[in-house]
Amino acid sequence: MADYRFEGPRPARMYEVILPKKIGYFGKIQEVLEDLFDERAIRKIPSVRQAVARRRKEAGFDEDRWIKTLCQASRGYSIYEMDGRYMSASGPVDERVIVIRFIFHNPDGADESTDFLAASMEVVNHLVARRFAMELGVEEELWFVEYSHPQLSIWRRTTGGEDESQTDEKP
pLDDT at 16: 94
Please report how many Cα atoms fall inside a 13 Å half-sphere around the Cα of residue 147, on the Cβ side.
14
Residuewise pLDDT in 10s, the chain (171 residues): 789 999 889 899 999 999 999 999 999 999 999 999 999 999 999 989 999 999 999 999 999 999 999 998 988 999 999 999 999 899 999 999 999 999 999 887 777 778 888 889 889 988 999 899 999 988 888 899 999 889 999 999 987 655 544 444 443
pLDDT at 161: 53
- The model's pTM: 0.81
Q: At 63, which CATH number?
A: 3.30.70.120
Query: Is residue 163 situated within a structural domain?
Result: no
Query: Is residue 85 situated within a structural domain?
Result: yes
Query: Is residue 169 situated within a structural domain?
Result: no
pLDDT at 20: 93
pLDDT at 160: 67
Query: Is residue 125 situated within a structural domain?
Result: yes
pLDDT at 3: 92
pLDDT at 141: 86
pLDDT at 38: 94
Query: Is residue 64 situated within a structural domain?
Result: yes
User: Per the omega criterion (within 30 degrees of 0), is the bond before 9 cis?
Assistant: yes
Query: Is residue 132 situated within a structural domain?
Result: yes
Burial letters 121-157, b for 16+ CB under 10 A, else e: ebbbbbbbbbbbbeebeeeeebebeeeeeeebeeeee
pLDDT at 2: 82
Q: Domain count of the chain? A: 1
Query: Is residue 170 situated within a structural domain?
Result: no
- Which residues span the domain enclosing 146? 4-157
Query: Is residue 171 situated within a structural domain?
Result: no
